[in-house]
Amino acid sequence: MRVVENGMSQLSLAVDLAGLRLRNPTLNAAGVLGISSPLLRRVYEAGAGAVVTKSIGPRPRAGHPNPTVSAVECGLLNAMGLPNPGAGYFAEEIRKLKDVGVPVVASFFGESVEAFAETAMVLAEAGADALELNCSCPNVEEEMGMLGADPAGVERVTAAVKGAVDPPVFVKLTPNVADIAEVARAAEQGGADAVTAVNTLLALAVDADLRRPVLANVTGGLSGPALKPVALRCVWEVAEAVDIPVIGCGGVSGWRDAVEFLLCGASAVEVGTALMTKGLDVFRDIPEGIRGYMEEQGFGEVGEIVGLAHEG
């Protein structure tokens, strides 16, 4: 309950994500503005509770040929193919962020269980405060893309990473499965400290004039407002299935979206596509809006809202 002293409300937006303390429950989603330390520093200075890097793999990777992005109704379709400079290079970017006190969640992937663990070790060694295991990219053919749909694989890779690093490990789940609760339970069983729900939804855009798919990769991942109802359903099901915190992701562009995710059981939210449409101001507007909602509804801490829609 809200404590009122001298007419001033003692309202806190801080949240605890498996030991990672955030000043407010917002982060950028992996892949958006996460490719360099100056950009991530701007995300934090704009107001985010912590920052999430672009997904980093064990070695440099070029990604898919263009076109890699297409605007669609109510969202964005992309198939970048996980381009990144490799963990060795990116470790230095993480160090630069830690030098200026930015809380960093390092998103990472590998093409084998061993590569996942090795990459995680490099990023943890560089000072990442938490790791987000991306086993749910929809755009790669290799094992790393399929892994997120296989509960046994998710448990195995999570356990391998947990055995290799100290910081908390968040497992990012794909919505492209029949039963996301089963995959979430597998991640928890493997030792995940939290799960992020969800990554992008497998989709396609076609150009009627060219009579061809728009993206060079043919299919891509759908993000933005079109994804929100799917993501809310996923957060709802995952929150009922596991006892670890859930981080909501998918179509959050304003404070009301964020509150909806909290009510469904998310402890924090990641903002991706809206950073491109609305800019960094979302990291001021969303926490302010959550604060206003809490004041109006009489809540003192964000945790009091988490999962409320499941009650009664």
Which residues participate in catalysis according to the annotation? 137
Residue 37 phi, psi (nearest 5): -65, -40
Q: Any contact of residue 81 with ligand DHB (CB under 6 A)?
A: yes
Tell me whether residue 110 or residue 221 sits nearer to ligand DHB (CB atom). 221
Q: Which of 28, 139, 196, 253 binds ligand DHB (CB under 6 A)?
A: 139
Shortest CA distance to 184 belongs to which of 131, 138, 239, 107?
239
Nearer of residues 26 and 200 to ligand DHB, judged by Cβ: 200
> What is the spatial distance between Cα 25 and Cα 290, in angstroms, rounded to a whole number?
9
Task: Tell me how far, at minimum, the Cβ of 234 lies from ligand DHB, in Å.
Answer: 14
Taking the complex as a whole, the smallest distance from the CB of residue 294 to ligand DHB amounts, in Å, to: 31
119 binds ligand DHB (CB under 6 A): no
Residue 270 or 285 having the CB closest to ligand DHB? 270
Write down the least CB distance from residue 230 to ligand DHB, Å.
13
273 binds ligand DHB (CB under 6 A): no
Q: How far apart are CA 227 and CA 239, in angstroms?
A: 18
* Stretch of 80-88, 112-120, 153-161, 236-244 contacting ligand DHB, by CB under 6 A: 80-88
Retrieve residue 289's tokens: 């809006």
The rounded distance, in Å, linking the Cα atoms of 158 and 242 is 15
Instruction: Considering only the stretches 45-53, 115-123, 132-140, 255-263, report the one whose residues sit in contact with ligand DHB under the rule CB under 6 A.
Output: 132-140
Q: Which is nearer to ligand DHB, 75 or 138 (CB)?
A: 138
Residue whose C-alpha is closest to residue 75's, from 225, 266, 244, 283: 225
Confirm if 135 and 144 have CB atoms less than 8 A apart: yes
Pick from 137, 226, 235, 244 the residue near ligand DHB by CB under 6 A.
137
CB-based contact 230:201 (threshold 8 Å): yes
Residue 80 touching ligand DHB (CB under 6 A): yes
Q: Which of residues 202-261 bind ligand DHB (CB under 6 A)?
A: 221
Residue 167 touching ligand DHB (CB under 6 A): no
Residue 116 CB, shortest distance to ligand DHB, in Å, is: 14
Asked whether the beta carbons of 227 and 249 are under 8 A apart, the reply is no
Minimum separation from the CB atom of position 265 to ligand DHB (A): 21
| Contact flag: residue 103 with ligand DHB (CB under 6 A) | no
Of the two residues 26 and 217, which places its CB atom closer to ligand DHB in the complex?
A: 217
Q: Is 75 in the site for ligand DHB (CB under 6 A)?
A: no
* From candidates 37, 199, 253, 267, binder to ligand DHB by CB under 6 A: 199
**What track of x and - describes contact with ligand DHB for positions 35 through 74 (by CB under 6 A)?**
----------------------------------------
Binding site for ligand DHB (CB under 6 A): 31, 78-82, 134, 137-139, 199-200, 221
